[in-house]
């Protein structure tokens, strides 16, 4: 069974926590060899992105962006923050969301958090209805 990008990222994170520099280098070299042997070199960008997420979680800095057609109210931001906290199983106090206005959106919002995008935009909903009707 081949490892996922998340598993490789966790291995790297643990390797970097090792106090001995020689041991750390050996571990990282071993992980790189494993990635190559498993044919996962194409996943390197994803592994690196997931590693950065693990580091941010550990430091308590989880940042995301909410793109919306207009500025969201504080209550709406807090509700989205709470939903993300529940989904990601982290404290909502660790999550910092920035609201960006996107004039191309007709309504709703798009959340970009960690390595994922949650599309709750009106455009997306209209497209799903069109697909369902057209087939």
124 and 76, same domain (yes or no): yes
74 and 22, same domain (yes or no): no
User: Can you say how many angstroms the Cα of residue 55 is from the centroid of all Cα atoms in its chain?
Assistant: 12
32 and 78, same domain (yes or no): no
Q: What is the pLDDT of residues 54-112, one digit of tens each?
A: 887 787 778 899 999 999 999 999 999 999 989 888 888 888 899 999 999 999 999 99
16 and 38, same domain (yes or no): yes
pLDDT at residue 71, rounded to an integer? 95
Would you place residue 1 in the very low, low, confident or very high pLDDT band (cuts 50, 70, 90)?
Answer: low
User: Nearest-5° angle of CA 22, CA 27, CA 28?
Assistant: 100
Q: What is the pLDDT of residues 20-36, one digit of tens each?
A: 889 988 999 999 998 99
Domain residues for the domain of 106 are: 61-134
108 and 76, same domain (yes or no): yes
46 and 66, same domain (yes or no): no
pLDDT at residue 63, rounded to an integer? 87
125 and 70, same domain (yes or no): yes
DSSP strand pairing (108-113 vs 62-68) = antiparallel
Give bridge partners of residue 100 from the DSSP assignment.
67
The pair phi, psi for residue 75, each rounded to 5°, is -60, -45
């Amino acid at each position: 069974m081949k490892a996922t990008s998340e598993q490789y990222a966790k291995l790297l994170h643990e390797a970097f926590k090792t106090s001995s520099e020689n041991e750390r280098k050996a571990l990282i070299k071993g992980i790189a060899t494993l990635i190559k042997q498993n044919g996962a070199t194409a996943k390197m960008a994803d592994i690196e992105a997931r590693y950065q997420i693990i580091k941010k979680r550990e430091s308590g800095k989880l940042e995301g962006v909410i793109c919306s057609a207009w500025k969201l109210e504080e209550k709406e931001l807090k509700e989205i923050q709470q939903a993300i906290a529940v989904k990601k199983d982290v404290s909502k106090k660790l999550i910092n969301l920035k609201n960006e206005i996107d004039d191309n959106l007709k309504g709703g919002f798009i959340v970009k958090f960690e390595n994922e995008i949650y599309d709750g935009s009106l455009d997306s909903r209209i497209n799903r209805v069109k697909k369902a009707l057209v087939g």
